[in-house]
Amino acid sequence: MRNPPGFRASDAFFFGKGPEAWTHFEQVVSEILWMEGYWVRTSVKVKLTKEEKRQIGRHSSPRWEIDIVAYSGRKNLLRVVECKSYIDSAGVRASAFDKSNPKHAKPYKLFNEPKLRRVVFKRLCLSTRRVEHVERHR
pTM, to two decimals: 0.70
Q: What string of DSSP letters covers the chain? A: -PPPTT--HHHHHHH-SSTTHHHHHHHHHHHHHHHTT-EEEEEEEEPPPHHHHHHTT-TT---EEEEEEEEETTTTEEEEE-----TTS----GGGTSSS-HHHHGGGHHHH-HHHHHHHHHHHHHHHHHHHHHHHT-
Domain boundaries along the sequence of the chain: 9-136
Of 123 and 10, more confident:
123
Mean of pLDDT values over 3-10: 44
Least confident of 5-14, 53-62, 89-98, 111-120: 5-14
Per residue in 31-78, pLDDT tens? 999 999 999 999 999 999 999 999 999 988 888 899 999 999 899 898
